[in-house]
Structure 1
């Protein structure tokens, strides 16, 4: 007699380096999905993250009595130090923060055991591999301890691990608690990101790449190895887009069981009058900073274009952004002034003092020369010859500048890829020039010293966003833009772009608030031309046309919220449990090596 299994989780553990640790896009994935998961599995969802900031963690609300008896048991019997509490995000899910550092002393033993059990090659490990892997291993121990202390043998339990950093946890669970169903999500394969980041053609030759061989070539053996072994040994492999699914097949040797696109939680976005007020405040701030940095007035109706994200110069398309703006500057028919903001955090000393002073006093910075090229200075320049290393002073021009198209002072502006590219393009910053770029190399967390507004509070003030990525497994930045009713331009190499294009069905530009630029390994110049043309055409649209596009952008984002996309995760949970039942019903044949 067949018994239909209940394919829903009773307990769900989700582990990531970015739980209560805001590093990148995975933080957004987990923190915005938490509310929907809480609604489905109230307090049966337990997020596990690294305890890196102690009592100063701004995203963690500690509850000393939560699971107190188990935590004491884990400490006494396994040496596990865990703080329990809530994640300070919508839904306030339960969080367990792990103090993994004491186990670093045994990392070589852990690596040896992973090699014996699964064939994970950690011999050439370096950098963040050590902390990430030991954290993940410790997280596996915590799940095992919780499982046994609370006698969950009769429950459906799932352990979900995100990205290569937590692969060791998935392998630990398979070995020590085989009844727990496992999921491994790769948000971007380590080899795909590395190949793209090393300026190698990823897409043209994808099917020809051998992942193991390329890992050796690019010094990525350890990270690739643990990612691949985790992918091959879990009950369910997921990834965030069809683009990354191709990478999984080629580099990890497994077709993902489910594609789980990233949703977004829109509940915090203002609406109605509050939206209009927030947009007006953001726009005033952006224009004010632009005027003070440039040293001359900026049109009140200037088209404000922005890009943001991690400082991945090629992968995020920052190079294409700059070249497209340069092409736009030379185009005919540009009637509106265009101010383009590149908002990617870099190595900075702090806010530019002259700009900060001008903003505080409400005065303009005196203008210098108006072209950035070679030894020439720019509007609002400050001489920083004294900041040059003594050995370099003889070889560098004495007119070295602080690059006043930046809002914050870079530690080594002459070595920064963005500033060098802007200089090389020779942008004109004269008052009559219609297109100008400002580089914002600071984290926008509300206290950067120049804008003093969080990123979302600035995003709402833009007219258009541009994310011309070369490597973008999903692409939260364009996704966030449409959620804020900001029309966006992205590429066919972005997971979100592919999804949006599927919704568009080949209709007119910005039909759903998103314009997709076709991009591949060979058409860089064509992409530059296409982006510049799209921005020029957008700048000529009437207020009524723009309002219509903004409404369509918001409508598209409604289809990409977690209320819709959580179904893909529920499918992954069902498959993980189903596959674990099948695995346990068969004779044990060993691990996949």
Structure 2
């Protein structure tokens, strides 16, 4: 077969005939993390190539998730549907239907709890056949073991019924789905197996505890480290899945190095993560959406800051960082240090700009900070009174103007407002105003004296002083439409911001800068993130397209903090026209990461596994 480039030039890549593809992942119809985005966003491009009759997804069945994501089937006449009915006859709680996402793929979902009565037997055979000892009293591990057992039994039944006379490719994602792999190999089933690890668990733990993780990578002993972190069963599942697959893949060159040293197998192929990029015919739509959602962020900022002091929102930029709370791995430490340096530089240069930096992550908290909620409620009251006054003045002004006799005179508007509304507005404003500084955190965090973000902000005195040019809002929960502070979803919040900051020290891929790009938002990441490493290897002049890549491979923390502060200062000094032009270029560049382009790497993996 021709090379991928030649096939791409020739047009649509043809999938081999008489071939069925199963993708198995813990996050099918089960939103947990980034793999959910990978699988879900890839579906339309896969179905376009394979057709819905040759492509099936397998995942766990959890009723609370399935109620929102799963549509049960009414037709079980297909071979897979008949196999599901046979499994149900054997007592398995298995569900067949469609995933309610773009493309509506067929899915088979297994309820792990339905075989919990067999857990001792399942674990016994996992130890006897694969020498993996699964712990007791670990709910996640129990669910993974039960799910893996059902998937293996299902695929075994399909092959025994003659289904595997067609060529069957089973693509497993991550260790939570990988446990069936050694069993499929042991029974020598005629199934071609691809396994993708999106991150090694041991690598994540080690990077959190070692500032020179990549330098020390060749010298770790995986057994020693797995025992040290008490994650040996998971690492053994990862290793068994990697070694049992006919084709082993991962998402970036960086994670490939981890696999070589920690899993003992070098990946056959790299499968970069993409997105289903929504392309708009009118480019101005990107800017219009930015303005629309920026106004909602303005509403929050007015309520949060302006009760203490005000600043010019027309000269205010919104920066943000988000993701799992891993202070070192996600580069929150570097971001904070660079923001402190940016604050000093902006003060020294007498900058007229203000930067509001949002930290969006998830931490244990009790509730919203009462003062923050109170301020939000009071400014909404002020807004409602202003609307009442506007309506009253508008009605009376119209009546006054149209009733004038003789020469036109513009009336005194203050006379058109009732004393009641004047007093109501005055009382609301007085209740809202405060001499206290704006809060740096929106929630009451559990044990906030040990929170690393808060401790840095307090130590650096980056606490939203009036003279600070960089203000900080630490929001220890993910943003959604039910959030009373923002009343918007995360994607809308991203579109309303100006710059994303993700200078990760450890990140197998990193969807956040890619999501920024797809929203027409410039972002900063590092060459120690899979996405940043991919950009630095494959895209020329990334900065001109809104993809700023920090060098964290060869520079120390201090130099990298200076580099990050430099980039942010350059962005602050851009004109509005320059920022708009960069936004358009960012949105245009995101097309490179559409699955219609990056899906070819998956095609290469399936081509390779069929040859083997």
Name the TM-score, length of structure 1 as normaliser.
Answer: 0.85
Tell me the number of residue pairs that the alignment of Structure 1 and Structure 2 aligns: 539
Residue of structure 2 equivalent to 1:91: 103
Q: 1:200 to 1:527 in 2, by over 3 A?
A: closer
Deviation at 1:503, TM superposition (A): 3.2
- Give CA-to-partner distance per residue, 1:419-450, whole Å, 9 cap, x none: 23322322141233200110122222321222
The within-5 A match list for 1:63-102 is 63-66=73-76, 69-77=82-90, 79-102=91-114
Query: SS at 1:460's partner residue?
Result: helix
User: Out of 29, 36, 39, which is 1:27 matched to?
Assistant: 36
Residue of structure 1 equivalent to 2:398: none
Structure 1 unmatched ranges of 5 or more:
1-5, 370-378, 381-403, 580-593
Distance in 1 separating the partners of 2:134 and 2:267: 24
Deviation at 1:455, TM superposition (A): 0.6
Query: SS at 1:153's partner residue?
Result: helix
Question: Is the Cα contact below 8 Å between 2:500 and 2:522 reproduced in 1?
Answer: yes
Deviation at 1:459, TM superposition (A): 0.5
Distance in 1 separating the partners of 2:179 and 2:362: 30
User: Out of 39, 51, 66, which is 1:42 matched to?
Assistant: 51
User: Out of 432, 440, 452, which is 1:405 matched to?
Assistant: 440
Residue of structure 2 equivalent to 1:58: 68
Q: 1:548 to 1:9 in 2, by over 3 A?
A: farther
Distance in 1 separating the partners of 2:514 and 2:41: 13
Query: SS at 1:519's partner residue?
Result: coil
Question: Is the Cα contact below 8 Å between 2:93 and 2:114 reproduced in 1?
Answer: no
Residue of structure 1 equivalent to 2:237: 226
Q: 1:21 to 1:532 in 2, by over 3 A?
A: same
Q: 1:469 to 1:8 in 2, by over 3 A?
A: farther
User: Out of 317, 320, 341, which is 1:303 matched to?
Assistant: 317
Deviation at 1:229, TM superposition (A): 1.0
Distance in 1 separating the partners of 2:566 and 2:503: 14
Distance in 2 separating the partners of 1:32 and 1:570: 16
Question: Is the Cα contact below 8 Å between 2:123 and 2:145 reproduced in 1?
Answer: no
Query: SS at 1:511's partner residue?
Result: helix
Question: Is the Cα contact below 8 Å between 2:31 and 2:65 reproduced in 1?
Answer: no
1:339 aligns with 2:359: no
Query: SS at 1:80's partner residue?
Result: coil
Query: SS at 1:316's partner residue?
Result: coil
Q: 1:124 to 1:270 in 2, by over 3 A?
A: farther
Deviation at 1:7, TM superposition (A): 5.0
Deviation at 1:478, TM superposition (A): 0.5
Question: Is the Cα contact below 8 Å between 1:24 and 1:310 reproduced in 2?
Answer: no
User: Out of 465, 468, 488, which is 1:430 matched to?
Assistant: 465
Name the TM-score, length of structure 2 as normaliser.
Answer: 0.83
Query: SS at 1:266's partner residue?
Result: coil
Question: Is the Cα contact below 8 Å between 1:264 and 1:561 reproduced in 2?
Answer: yes
Q: 1:269 to 1:218 in 2, by over 3 A?
A: farther
Question: Is the Cα contact below 8 Å between 2:152 and 2:183 reproduced in 1?
Answer: yes
Deviation at 1:528, TM superposition (A): 1.1
Deviation at 1:572, TM superposition (A): 0.6
Could you tell which deviates more after superposition, 243-252 or 429-438?
Answer: 429-438
User: Out of 284, 293, 318, which is 2:304 matched to?
Assistant: 293
Query: SS at 2:214's partner residue?
Result: coil
Residue of structure 1 equivalent to 2:602: 569
Distance in 1 separating the partners of 2:249 and 2:27: 18
Residue of structure 1 equivalent to 2:124: 112
Question: Is the Cα contact below 8 Å between 1:100 and 1:135 reproduced in 2?
Answer: yes
User: Out of 120, 124, 130, which is 2:142 matched to?
Assistant: 130
Question: Is the Cα contact below 8 Å between 1:293 and 1:405 reproduced in 2?
Answer: no
Residue of structure 2 equivalent to 1:141: 153
Residue of structure 2 equivalent to 1:245: 256
Deviation at 1:207, TM superposition (A): 1.1
Residue of structure 1 equivalent to 2:565: 532
Q: 1:51 to 1:212 in 2, by over 3 A?
A: same
Residue of structure 2 equivalent to 1:264: 275
1:317 aligns with 2:326: no
Say what the alpha-carbon RMSD is for the aligned residues. 2.4
Could you tell which deviates more after superposition, 472-481 or 517-526?
Answer: 517-526
Distance in 1 separating the partners of 2:123 and 2:594: 39
Q: 1:262 to 1:160 in 2, by over 3 A?
A: same
Query: SS at 1:30's partner residue?
Result: helix
The within-5 A match list for 1:471-482 is 471-482=506-517
1:493 aligns with 2:512: no
Structure 2 unmatched ranges of 5 or more:
1-14, 383-428
Question: Is the Cα contact below 8 Å between 2:504 and 2:529 reproduced in 1?
Answer: yes
Deviation at 1:280, TM superposition (A): 1.7
Residue of structure 2 equivalent to 1:441: 476
Deviation at 1:82, TM superposition (A): 1.4
- Give CA-to-partner distance per residue, 1:223-271, whole Å, 9 cap, x none: 1111001100111101000000111111111111110000111127795
Deviation at 1:536, TM superposition (A): 0.6
Distance in 1 separating the partners of 2:552 and 2:86: 55
Q: Which has the larger radius of gyration?
A: 2
Query: SS at 1:552's partner residue?
Result: helix
Distance in 1 separating the partners of 2:209 and 2:434: 39
